[in-house]
Structure 1
């Protein structure tokens, strides 16, 4: 069994956000009516390349309850009608927004969409009334440019750990 590095990153001030414009080809839509099966689909579609499988093996009822709670929001990015990526925001305590999942569909990686979509996710997190902090975690199994993208947008690492993978 190998090891992975997990980085925890945060942004405590919206002015720290070094935004990139959302690419003109992307249309980002919030799924205002929670649909658990849509989230499962997006998780598999985007996560397949990055070994996202934890949620698929876990308690499906707990996952559904989280998605259907008022503390959870889902956004889908479309490029000319095709799903290009998505992100989920989760704020169970009312002040700390986690960018729970963020990613692009494999066919859309390398087209210059990630920085703008991440900026849109950060903007949505800060626009959520009451937000005091935005955070996320990533790991060494993620896309090689992921950590750098998060840091370029203004996130700073506040913790790091080594874990089995």
Structure 2
């Protein structure tokens, strides 16, 4: 549908050198869905990660997110990152499989009456084995255990192509689309330049 005053011009737009663009889909749920929380995999355990060590947090963040170009927490100053991770309104959980760290869950309650699924992910070799559903059902349980009216998340086309269908299956409904422009973290070495081969690296 054409608009008289589009946010972006219709058609193609060149990107500034060193940047990438991604289409972001925002999703929300307005009530808790009915999902079974039990798992037949006794090796999976979810633990609250209270005030995580910054280096350990970044290591897990990198192990999970480098392939999807997660970089925000890797470039953030120690002071700013600590202020988020140590905030009592932010709940961080670590998923383990037989003692090995395989997943990260971060719930942000810093806005009244809502929870953002700020980070959610698994290491690559744990995807497709049921750990994602295990982690998400617990995320939903923990989010709606507090007095919220909305649980929301955003994903983008830099993420796994399975992410958006998964969120929808778990009860989230898309409500907004945005375009994000960001510096390509591979150019600065924040993540390896071999990461995310599905996203072309221009000019390096």
TM-score, normalising length from structure 1? 0.89
Native 8 Å contact 1:95 1:132 kept in 2: yes
Q: Structure 2 residue aligned with 1:120, among 138, 143, 161?
A: 138
In the superposition, relative to structure 1, how do residues 23 and 158 fare at CA in structure 2: closer, same or farther (>3 Å)?
farther
* Distance in 1 separating the partners of 2:81 and 2:91: 13
* Distance in 2 separating the partners of 1:20 and 1:150: 16
Residue correspondences, number:
162
**Number of the residue aligned with 2:120:** 102
Native 8 Å contact 1:17 1:153 kept in 2: no
Is 2:65 the counterpart of 1:47?
A: yes
In the superposition, relative to structure 1, how do residues 20 and 4 fare at CA in structure 2: closer, same or farther (>3 Å)?
farther
RMSD: 1.8
> Which digits, 9 at most, give the CA deviation of each residue in 1:77-130, with x for residues without a partner?
111111121110011123211110000011111223212211111111111x22
Unaligned residue ranges in structure 1 (runs of 5+)? none
In the superposition, relative to structure 1, how do residues 101 and 52 fare at CA in structure 2: closer, same or farther (>3 Å)?
same
Unaligned residue ranges in structure 2 (runs of 5+)? 1-14, 183-204
Correspondences of 1:80-159 after superposition (within 5 Å): 80-127=98-145, 129-159=146-176
**Number of the residue aligned with 1:27:** 45
Q: Which moved more, 1:93-102 or 1:1-10?
A: 1-10
Higher-Rg member (1/2):
2
Q: Higher RCO, 1 or 2 (CA under 8 Å, sep at least 6)?
A: 1
The structure carrying a bigger strand percent of its residues is 1
Q: What secondary structure sits across from 2:154 in the alignment?
A: strand
**Number of the residue aligned with 1:75:** 93
1:39 to partner: Cα distance: 2.5
